Structure 1
Amino acid sequence: MKQLFSIFFIALFAIANAQDKDSKETANRFFYELTFKPKNDSAKLEKVMSVLDIVKDRSVYRDYTVIGQDSIIKVQIEAMQKSGVFKDMSKSIRMPKFSEKIVKIYPDMKVQYIERIASGFSPMGIAYNETIKFDWKISNEKEKIGAYNAQKATAEFGGRKWTAWFSTELPFQDGPYKFSGLPGLIVKIEDDGKNYSWVLQGNKKVPNWEELSYAEKISNMSLKVTEMPREKFEKTFNDFKKDPFASVRPMMNQEMMSKSIPGMDGTIGDMMKKQEKMYKDFFNSNDNPIELNQPSSDKKKK
């Protein structure tokens, strides 16, 4: 049963982020509403909340969806543990819109871009590292963005032209996604085609901050990642997107696939098919990446 749980937690949370050792620091958490255009051939826009957590030696940027549902997930998992009956959690929780975690290491702002893939019955982290030197052009133009006095700056990155507004009232040379390097926190940034736009919505202190969520803890994830050149990273992740259960399937014989799951309709095989469809729908939902010049023939992004 433990292996079975592992399969489905990989399917539900392989897009999440992890660490080996919990941090007992206080984090400055900044909430950014991201408005984005997932499809090139559509004018439809979607919105998602993302967070930038800043601690002493680094920042962590990610989709807030899984973190925000931690208490709901905890209640459901504890109920399953108590009853011994598995429940299909995909019916009651929302999936994130984006799967990457981006860590910036201070003070040199080295960027580590992390994704999770399945490796047998366990999640595996893969990552590439880069140091980005943004060539910001700071303007004298100023504007009030939310509660903060902000100043305009522009730069080119990832094949797009970006306009950022930063505030020295927030003394962090950081921002959402990979953006950084201005004399204050970026409170708004968008590309000239308005494909991606982040706007700061609020912030708070998070005492006893832990990078690892409850869902990630029970999924036995690790902060350890396999670092590789970006081209190899793109190929490895694209292979996973094409066949998410490639490493699990050889470990599942026909007898195991035909077993029913207590408390659920269908067999383990049925659930794997459902989870595989969920993965592929997720990965195919966005063909308009933030960075247009990724070193990969497959430009689809989560």
Structure 2
Amino acid sequence: MKKLFSIFFIAIFAFASAQDNESKETANRFFYELTFKPKKDSAKLDKVMAALDIVKDRSVYRDFTAVGQDSILKVQFEAMQKAGVFKDLSKSFKMPKFSEKIVKHYPDMKLQYVERIASGFSPMSIAYTDTPKFEWKISNDKAKIGEYNTQKATTEFGGRKWIAWFTTDLPFQDGPYKFSGLPGLIVKIEDEGKNYSWVLQGNKKVPNWDELTYMEKLSNLSLKVTEMPREKFEKTFNDFKKDPFASARPMMTQAIMSQTIPGMDGTVGDMMKKQEKMYKDFFSANDNPIEITVQTTDKKKK
């Protein structure tokens, strides 16, 4: 899903210094081009670059758009802080098309699926944990994909049938999104209907890797992850999609709504209308989830 808080929204309500502690971890970053159908009944395809970062004890999968712009954002925000001037950066940067972050923990591959919603005027992360069990059927079919020698495997997951090609040249039993469990890294995976197709495009080492982006540090998202059973997660996220500002609206007096925003054209009310339209337009334009059916090993919590 598209990143649920525009850059200028965070700038106003979380204008603070991010702590920049240099990490000593080095990550293997794998870039996947994701081609997908936003609408299940449409022939239109869209594309985005995603990244799978693998470190010693875990991997992190996410849309690369935000990560790729992180250093530019840092420079812009630090300049704003130094000058003490607010600026609308929302038109300067491209918004991610997917906001979920999936962290797989080694060796059991227990994953945490994280999404962002609003809690009043603050960004909030909600998450569920799961350990998907993929029943892979490995065939003798082999193919050269890019520079890698790969082998075919199939599985069923989330109500779709998937065809994967993995390589033992890269000794990571991992892959994009939630996929894992093959004897090597997944180079390509797509469902039979070609609604979603990931293809490995390249990789590099990332020294001083940090799981959190500058924006996440700035908005303290790392401190606001609320774990819940998947059923409650789905309901909470669906409620947010129906009414993105439900939690903020009770706080909005007429005086607040009419306040102007430093460095921007318009009032708080104008900003809310713009944000709400963006969310609703996006959600109505995307009705083709990766997982048609929910499969989970979560223990129900009451």
TM-score (norm 1): 0.88
Q: Kindly indicate whether residue 226 of structure 2 is the aligned counterpart of residue 226 of structure 1.
A: yes
Secondary structure at 1:94 match in 2: coil
Matching residue's letter, 2:85:
V
Q: Kindly indicate whether residue 71 of structure 2 is the aligned counterpart of residue 71 of structure 1.
A: yes
Aligned length: 287
- Whether the 8 Å CA contact 1:165–1:187 is kept in 2: the answer is yes
**Counterparts of 1:201 and 1:58 in 2: how far apart (Å)?**
21
**Equivalent residue, structure 2, for 1:161:** 161
Q: Give a deviation string over 1:142-194, Cα, whole Å, max 9, x none.
A: 11111111111011111111110000000000000000000000000001111
Matching residue's letter, 1:136:
W
Cα distance change of structure 1 residues 277 and 20 upon mapping to structure 2, 3 Å threshold: farther
**Equivalent residue, structure 2, for 1:288:** 288
Cα distance change of structure 1 residues 239 and 58 upon mapping to structure 2, 3 Å threshold: same
Matching residue's letter, 1:185:
L
For structure 1, the 5+ residue unaligned runs are 296-302
Q: Structure 2 matches for 1:134-145, cutoff 5 A?
A: 134-145=134-145
Worse-superposed segment, 109-118 or 254-263: 254-263
Matching residue's letter, 1:96:
P
Deviation at 1:31, TM superposition (A): 0.3
**Equivalent residue, structure 1, for 2:80:** 80
**Counterparts of 2:199 and 2:68 in 1: how far apart (Å)?**
18
Q: Give a deviation string over 1:84-124, Cα, whole Å, max 9, x none.
A: 33222221111111111111111000121111111223222
Q: Structure 2 matches for 1:203-282, cutoff 5 A?
A: 203-282=203-282
- Whether the 8 Å CA contact 2:126–2:233 is kept in 1: the answer is yes
Secondary structure at 1:222 match in 2: helix
| Residue identity (%) | 82
Matching residue's letter, 2:151:
Q
TM-score (norm 2): 0.88
Task: Say what the alpha-carbon RMSD is for the aligned residues.
Answer: 2.5
Deviation at 1:82, TM superposition (A): 3.2
Matching residue's letter, 2:208:
N
Matching residue's letter, 2:143:
E
Cα distance change of structure 1 residues 12 and 129 upon mapping to structure 2, 3 Å threshold: farther
**Equivalent residue, structure 1, for 2:191:** 191
For structure 2, the 5+ residue unaligned runs are 296-302
**Equivalent residue, structure 1, for 2:298:** none
Matching residue's letter, 2:153:
A
- Whether the 8 Å CA contact 1:11–1:275 is kept in 2: the answer is no
Q: Give a deviation string over 1:223-252, Cα, whole Å, max 9, x none.
A: 552221111110001111112222222223
